[in-house]
Protein backbone atom coordinates (compact mmCIF):
# COMPACT_ATOMS: atom_id res chain seq x y z
CA UNK A 1 0.00 0.00 0.00
CA UNK A 2 1.49 3.41 -0.93
CA UNK A 3 2.16 6.03 1.72
CA UNK A 4 -0.65 8.50 2.35
CA UNK A 5 1.78 11.29 1.53
CA UNK A 6 5.45 11.40 0.78
CA UNK A 7 8.28 13.81 0.00
CA UNK A 8 11.43 12.58 -1.73
CA UNK A 9 14.46 14.90 -1.76
CA UNK A 10 12.01 17.76 -2.15
CA UNK A 11 13.25 21.33 -2.29
CA UNK A 12 11.37 24.54 -2.85
CA UNK A 13 13.04 27.82 -3.65
CA UNK A 14 10.82 30.86 -4.09
CA UNK A 15 11.26 33.53 -6.75
CA UNK A 16 12.87 35.83 -4.20
CA UNK A 17 15.61 33.24 -3.73
CA UNK A 18 14.44 32.02 -0.33
CA UNK A 19 14.99 28.29 0.11
CA UNK A 20 11.90 27.18 2.04
CA UNK A 21 12.51 23.42 1.84
CA UNK A 22 15.94 21.89 1.45
CA UNK A 23 15.77 18.31 0.20
CA UNK A 24 13.24 16.96 2.68
CA UNK A 25 12.24 13.31 2.62
CA UNK A 26 9.56 11.76 4.76
CA UNK A 27 6.38 9.77 4.41
CA UNK A 28 3.21 9.43 6.44
CA UNK A 29 1.65 6.00 6.30
CA UNK A 30 -2.10 5.36 5.99
CA UNK A 31 -3.87 5.65 9.33
CA UNK A 32 -1.15 7.76 10.97
CA UNK A 33 -1.91 11.04 12.71
CA UNK A 34 1.20 13.09 12.18
CA UNK A 35 1.96 16.62 13.19
CA UNK A 36 4.29 18.90 11.32
CA UNK A 37 6.11 21.13 13.79
CA UNK A 38 8.66 23.82 13.36
CA UNK A 39 9.46 27.41 14.21
CA UNK A 40 8.31 30.27 11.96
CA UNK A 41 9.84 29.98 8.51
CA UNK A 42 10.68 26.31 8.95
CA UNK A 43 8.82 25.41 5.76
CA UNK A 44 5.65 23.85 7.20
CA UNK A 45 3.16 25.82 5.12
CA UNK A 46 5.30 25.36 2.01
CA UNK A 47 5.11 21.60 2.57
CA UNK A 48 1.32 21.79 2.82
CA UNK A 49 1.17 23.98 -0.32
CA UNK A 50 3.21 21.39 -2.22
CA UNK A 51 0.81 18.66 -1.14
CA UNK A 52 -2.13 20.84 -2.23
CA UNK A 53 -0.51 21.18 -5.64
CA UNK A 54 -0.60 24.96 -5.29
CA UNK A 55 3.19 25.11 -5.55
CA UNK A 56 5.51 22.99 -7.66
CA UNK A 57 8.74 21.69 -6.11
CA UNK A 58 12.00 23.19 -7.36
CA UNK A 59 13.56 19.74 -7.02
CA UNK A 60 12.46 16.29 -5.88
CA UNK A 61 9.02 14.74 -5.88
CA UNK A 62 5.83 14.83 -3.83
CA UNK A 63 3.08 12.18 -3.65
CA UNK A 64 -0.43 12.37 -2.30
CA UNK A 65 -2.35 9.11 -1.81
CA UNK A 66 0.03 7.39 -4.20
CA UNK A 67 -0.31 9.96 -6.98
CA UNK A 68 2.54 12.27 -7.82
CA UNK A 69 1.65 15.93 -7.54
CA UNK A 70 1.35 17.53 -10.97
CA UNK A 71 0.33 14.38 -12.85
CA UNK A 72 -3.11 14.09 -14.49
CA UNK A 73 -4.19 11.58 -11.80
CA UNK A 74 -3.28 13.86 -8.93
CA UNK A 75 -6.65 15.65 -8.99
CA UNK A 76 -8.38 12.37 -8.17
CA UNK A 77 -6.12 12.04 -5.11
CA UNK A 78 -7.05 15.61 -4.15
CA UNK A 79 -10.74 14.65 -4.24
CA UNK A 80 -9.91 12.07 -1.55
CA UNK A 81 -8.13 14.71 0.54
CA UNK A 82 -9.67 17.35 2.79
CA UNK A 83 -7.70 20.52 3.46
CA UNK A 84 -8.20 23.08 6.20
CA UNK A 85 -6.24 26.18 5.16
CA UNK A 86 -4.47 28.50 7.56
CA UNK A 87 -6.63 31.53 8.47
CA UNK A 88 -8.38 31.94 5.12
CA UNK A 89 -10.44 35.00 4.24
CA UNK A 90 -14.20 34.65 4.07
CA UNK A 91 -16.42 35.71 1.17
CA UNK A 92 -18.64 38.67 1.97
CA UNK A 93 -20.86 37.85 -1.00
CA UNK A 94 -21.45 34.10 -0.55
CA UNK A 95 -23.47 32.43 2.17
CA UNK A 96 -22.15 29.44 4.10
CA UNK A 97 -24.74 27.24 2.38
CA UNK A 98 -23.78 28.41 -1.12
CA UNK A 99 -20.10 27.84 -0.39
CA UNK A 100 -20.72 24.31 0.88
CA UNK A 101 -22.83 23.70 -2.24
CA UNK A 102 -19.88 24.61 -4.49
CA UNK A 103 -17.53 22.49 -2.37
CA UNK A 104 -19.84 19.49 -2.74
CA UNK A 105 -19.99 19.93 -6.52
CA UNK A 106 -16.19 20.12 -6.72
CA UNK A 107 -15.75 16.93 -4.69
CA UNK A 108 -18.53 15.29 -6.68
CA UNK A 109 -20.00 13.75 -3.52
CA UNK A 110 -20.80 14.38 0.11
CA UNK A 111 -23.71 14.44 2.49
CA UNK A 112 -24.27 18.14 3.04
CA UNK A 113 -27.02 17.68 5.64
CA UNK A 114 -24.86 15.32 7.71
CA UNK A 115 -21.84 17.65 7.74
CA UNK A 116 -24.03 20.64 8.59
CA UNK A 117 -25.48 18.72 11.52
CA UNK A 118 -22.10 17.49 12.80
CA UNK A 119 -20.67 21.01 12.86
CA UNK A 120 -23.83 22.72 14.08
CA UNK A 121 -24.05 24.96 11.01
CA UNK A 122 -27.81 24.61 10.44
CA UNK A 123 -28.66 28.12 11.61
CA UNK A 124 -25.74 29.68 9.75
CA UNK A 125 -26.35 28.42 6.22
CA UNK A 126 -28.05 31.63 5.05
CA UNK A 127 -25.41 33.86 6.67
CA UNK A 128 -22.76 35.51 4.50
CA UNK A 129 -19.44 33.84 5.25
CA UNK A 130 -17.66 37.02 6.33
CA UNK A 131 -20.41 37.67 8.88
CA UNK A 132 -19.87 34.37 10.71
CA UNK A 133 -18.03 34.44 14.05
CA UNK A 134 -14.44 33.17 14.11
CA UNK A 135 -15.54 29.87 15.61
CA UNK A 136 -18.21 29.28 12.98
CA UNK A 137 -15.82 30.29 10.20
CA UNK A 138 -13.42 27.60 11.37
CA UNK A 139 -16.24 25.08 11.65
CA UNK A 140 -17.22 25.95 8.09
CA UNK A 141 -13.70 25.28 6.77
CA UNK A 142 -13.65 21.99 8.69
CA UNK A 143 -17.06 21.10 7.27
CA UNK A 144 -15.82 21.91 3.75
CA UNK A 145 -12.73 19.74 4.27
CA UNK A 146 -14.82 16.80 5.47
CA UNK A 147 -17.71 17.14 3.05
CA UNK A 148 -16.06 14.91 0.44
CA UNK A 149 -15.53 12.15 3.03
CA UNK A 150 -11.75 12.31 2.60
CA UNK A 151 -9.29 9.56 3.47
CA UNK A 152 -6.61 12.11 4.23
CA UNK A 153 -6.80 15.39 6.12
CA UNK A 154 -4.28 18.21 5.77
CA UNK A 155 -4.76 20.73 8.57
CA UNK A 156 -2.76 23.94 8.39
CA UNK A 157 -2.89 25.69 11.78
CA UNK A 158 -6.59 24.91 12.27
CA UNK A 159 -6.95 26.80 15.56
CA UNK A 160 -4.70 29.80 15.00
CA UNK A 161 -6.42 33.03 16.00
CA UNK A 162 -9.32 31.34 17.81
CA UNK A 163 -10.33 32.11 21.38
CA UNK A 164 -9.92 29.31 23.97
CA UNK A 165 -13.57 28.23 23.79
CA UNK A 166 -13.58 28.00 19.99
CA UNK A 167 -10.19 26.25 20.12
CA UNK A 168 -11.58 23.61 22.49
CA UNK A 169 -14.58 23.11 20.17
CA UNK A 170 -12.33 22.64 17.15
CA UNK A 171 -10.11 20.23 19.12
CA UNK A 172 -13.17 18.18 20.02
CA UNK A 173 -14.24 18.02 16.36
CA UNK A 174 -10.73 17.17 15.23
CA UNK A 175 -10.33 14.45 17.85
CA UNK A 176 -13.47 12.82 16.43
CA UNK A 177 -12.77 13.16 12.72
CA UNK A 178 -9.07 12.30 12.97
CA UNK A 179 -9.84 8.93 14.52
CA UNK A 180 -10.87 7.48 11.17
CA UNK A 181 -8.40 9.30 8.90
CA UNK A 182 -4.78 9.76 8.05
CA UNK A 183 -3.91 13.28 9.14
CA UNK A 184 -1.09 15.75 8.75
CA UNK A 185 -1.55 18.55 11.26
CA UNK A 186 0.65 21.57 10.75
CA UNK A 187 0.73 23.59 13.96
CA UNK A 188 2.66 25.89 16.26
CA UNK A 189 0.60 24.70 19.19
CA UNK A 190 2.57 21.91 20.82
CA UNK A 191 -0.20 21.03 23.26
CA UNK A 192 -2.54 20.65 20.29
CA UNK A 193 -0.06 18.38 18.52
CA UNK A 194 0.46 16.31 21.66
CA UNK A 195 -3.28 15.96 22.19
CA UNK A 196 -4.20 15.04 18.62
CA UNK A 197 -1.22 13.28 17.05
CA UNK A 198 0.90 10.20 17.56
CA UNK A 199 3.71 10.95 15.13
CA UNK A 200 5.93 14.02 14.89
CA UNK A 201 7.82 15.58 12.00
CA UNK A 202 9.96 18.52 13.12
CA UNK A 203 11.16 20.90 10.43
CA UNK A 204 13.75 23.59 10.93
CA UNK A 205 15.25 25.86 8.27
CA UNK A 206 13.71 23.72 5.55
CA UNK A 207 15.14 20.42 6.78
CA UNK A 208 13.58 17.47 8.61
CA UNK A 209 15.18 17.28 12.06
CA UNK A 210 13.03 14.56 13.57
CA UNK A 211 10.45 12.11 12.28
CA UNK A 212 9.43 9.72 15.03
CA UNK A 213 6.42 8.50 16.90
CA UNK A 214 5.66 10.49 20.03
CA UNK A 215 5.98 7.32 22.09
CA UNK A 216 9.52 6.68 20.76
CA UNK A 217 10.51 10.28 21.37
CA UNK A 218 9.29 10.10 24.95
CA UNK A 219 11.17 6.88 25.53
CA UNK A 220 14.38 8.40 24.21
CA UNK A 221 14.16 11.82 25.75
CA UNK A 222 16.04 12.62 28.94
CA UNK A 223 13.88 12.52 32.01
CA UNK A 224 13.90 15.54 34.26
CA UNK A 225 13.35 16.29 37.88
CA UNK A 226 11.31 19.18 39.20
CA UNK A 227 12.23 20.44 42.67
CA UNK A 228 10.68 23.17 44.79
CA UNK A 229 11.50 24.42 48.29
CA UNK A 230 9.85 26.92 50.60
CA UNK A 231 13.01 29.10 50.40
CA UNK A 232 12.43 29.67 46.66
CA UNK A 233 14.13 28.79 43.42
CA UNK A 234 17.29 30.85 43.93
CA UNK A 235 18.12 28.99 47.19
CA UNK A 236 17.44 25.71 45.44
CA UNK A 237 19.66 26.65 42.49
CA UNK A 238 22.48 27.63 44.89
CA UNK A 239 22.16 24.34 46.78
CA UNK A 240 22.31 22.37 43.53
CA UNK A 241 25.21 24.45 42.25
CA UNK A 242 27.17 23.75 45.44
CA UNK A 243 26.88 20.07 44.48
CA UNK A 244 28.08 20.72 40.95
CA UNK A 245 24.60 20.46 39.43
CA UNK A 246 23.13 23.08 37.17
CA UNK A 247 19.41 23.53 36.75
CA UNK A 248 16.94 26.04 35.39
CA UNK A 249 14.44 28.07 37.35
CA UNK A 250 10.84 27.34 36.38
CA UNK A 251 8.67 29.71 38.41
CA UNK A 252 9.08 28.87 42.09
CA UNK A 253 10.62 25.53 41.20
CA UNK A 254 13.75 24.38 39.38
CA UNK A 255 14.10 21.72 36.71
CA UNK A 256 17.19 19.66 36.05
CA UNK A 257 17.73 16.88 33.59
CA UNK A 258 18.61 13.48 35.00
CA UNK A 259 19.55 10.26 33.27
CA UNK A 260 17.60 8.30 35.90
CA UNK A 261 15.25 10.74 37.56
CA UNK A 262 13.39 8.20 39.67
CA UNK A 263 16.58 6.45 40.82
CA UNK A 264 18.47 9.63 41.70
CA UNK A 265 15.60 11.58 43.28
CA UNK A 266 15.65 10.03 46.79
CA UNK A 267 19.36 10.69 47.40
CA UNK A 268 19.12 14.22 46.03
CA UNK A 269 16.06 14.91 48.16
CA UNK A 270 17.81 13.68 51.30
CA UNK A 271 20.82 15.86 50.52
CA UNK A 272 18.74 18.98 49.98
CA UNK A 273 16.77 18.39 53.18
CA UNK A 274 20.06 17.92 55.02
CA UNK A 275 21.16 21.31 53.63
CA UNK A 276 18.22 22.83 55.45
CA UNK A 277 15.97 23.38 52.43
CA UNK A 278 12.27 22.76 53.06
CA UNK A 279 11.64 20.79 49.89
CA UNK A 280 7.94 20.36 49.22
CA UNK A 281 8.11 19.04 45.67
CA UNK A 282 10.36 16.47 44.03
CA UNK A 283 8.71 15.15 40.86
CA UNK A 284 10.20 13.14 38.00
CA UNK A 285 8.85 14.72 34.78
CA UNK A 286 8.01 12.95 31.57
CA UNK A 287 9.39 14.89 28.64
CA UNK A 288 6.67 17.04 27.05
CA UNK A 289 6.51 17.60 23.32
CA UNK A 290 7.54 21.17 24.00
CA UNK A 291 10.78 20.02 25.63
CA UNK A 292 11.46 17.55 22.85
CA UNK A 293 10.72 20.19 20.24
CA UNK A 294 12.94 22.81 21.84
CA UNK A 295 15.75 20.32 22.19
CA UNK A 296 15.35 19.27 18.56
CA UNK A 297 15.53 22.81 17.23
CA UNK A 298 18.30 23.67 19.68
CA UNK A 299 16.34 26.44 21.32
CA UNK A 300 16.99 25.54 24.98
CA UNK A 301 19.65 23.05 26.01
CA UNK A 302 18.68 21.47 29.31
CA UNK A 303 21.52 20.90 31.81
CA UNK A 304 21.88 17.24 32.63
CA UNK A 305 22.47 15.19 35.76
CA UNK A 306 24.53 12.25 34.45
CA UNK A 307 23.35 8.73 35.19
CA UNK A 308 24.95 7.30 38.33
CA UNK A 309 26.17 10.63 39.64
CA UNK A 310 26.27 10.45 43.37
CA UNK A 311 24.70 13.16 45.38
CA UNK A 312 26.51 13.54 48.66
CA UNK A 313 24.51 14.58 51.70
Partner 1 sequence: MSVLTPEVRVLVGKEIRQLLRSRGALTTSLILPVLFLVVVPALEYFSFGTGSRAGRGGGTLSGVSPPGLTGLKPIGVVTYYLVPMFTALAGVLMPSVTAIYTIVQERERKTVELLVALPVRLTDIIYAKLAATLLIALAVMLPLITVQAVGALVLGAAGPGWVAGELLLLGCAIACSICVSFVLALLARDFRTSQQINGFLLMPILILVNAVLLVLPPAVKVPVLAALLLLAGALALTVAVRRLTFERYLS
Residues at the site binding partner 1, with contacts judged by CB under 8 A = 14-15, 49, 52-56, 75, 78-79, 81, 83-94, 98-99, 102-103, 105-107, 141, 144-145, 148
**Cβ nearer to partner 1, comparing 78 with 224:** 78
**Cβ nearer to partner 1, comparing 89 with 298:** 89
**Cβ nearer to partner 1, comparing 158 with 223:** 158
Q: Report, in Å, the least distance between residue 146 CB and partner 1.
A: 12
Q: Report, in Å, the least distance between residue 123 CB and partner 1.
A: 21
**Cβ nearer to partner 1, comparing 8 with 74:** 74
Whether 237 contacts 196, CB under 8 Å = no
Q: Report, in Å, the least distance between residue 101 CB and partner 1.
A: 9
Whether 190 contacts 159, CB under 8 Å = no
**Cβ nearer to partner 1, comparing 206 with 223:** 206
If residue 261 lies in a helix (H) or strand (E), which one and from where to where? helix 261-274
Q: Report, in Å, the least distance between residue 6 CB and partner 1.
A: 19
Q: Report, in Å, the least distance between residue 173 CB and partner 1.
A: 17
What φ, ψ does residue 142 adopt, rounded to 5°? -65, -45
Q: Report, in Å, the least distance between residue 72 CB and partner 1.
A: 8
Q: Report, in Å, the least distance between residue 185 CB and partner 1.
A: 15
Q: Is 15 helix (H, G, I), strand (E, B) or coil?
A: coil
Q: Estimate the share of the chain in helix, then strand, then coil, as percent rounded to the nearest 5.
A: 35, 25, 35
Q: Report, in Å, the least distance between residue 298 CB and partner 1.
A: 30
Contacts of 7 (CB under 8 A, 6+ apart): 21, 24, 25, 26, 27, 47, 50, 60, 61, 62
Q: Which of 294, 289, 212 is nearest to 248 (CA)?
A: 294
Whether 246 contacts 272, CB under 8 Å = no
**Cβ nearer to partner 1, comparing 80 with 243:** 80
**Cβ nearer to partner 1, comparing 49 with 224:** 49
**Cβ nearer to partner 1, comparing 144 with 228:** 144
Residue 129 and residue 37: Cα distance in Å, rounded?
30
Q: Is 92 helix (H, G, I), strand (E, B) or coil?
A: coil
- Give me the residues paired with residue 83 across strands: 154
Q: Which of 190, 150, 198, 196 is nearest to 176 (CA)?
A: 196
Helices 164-177 and 134-147: crossing angle in degrees, nearest 10, is 10
Amino acid sequence: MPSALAFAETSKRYRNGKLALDGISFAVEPGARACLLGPNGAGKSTAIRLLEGALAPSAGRVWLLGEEVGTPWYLEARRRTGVVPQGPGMYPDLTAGEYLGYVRRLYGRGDLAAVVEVFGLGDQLATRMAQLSGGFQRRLTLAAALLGEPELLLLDEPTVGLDPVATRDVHDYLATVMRERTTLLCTHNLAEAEKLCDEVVILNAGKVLVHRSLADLRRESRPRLRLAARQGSQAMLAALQSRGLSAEADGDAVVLAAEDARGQAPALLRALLADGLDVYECTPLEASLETMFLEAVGARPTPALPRGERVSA
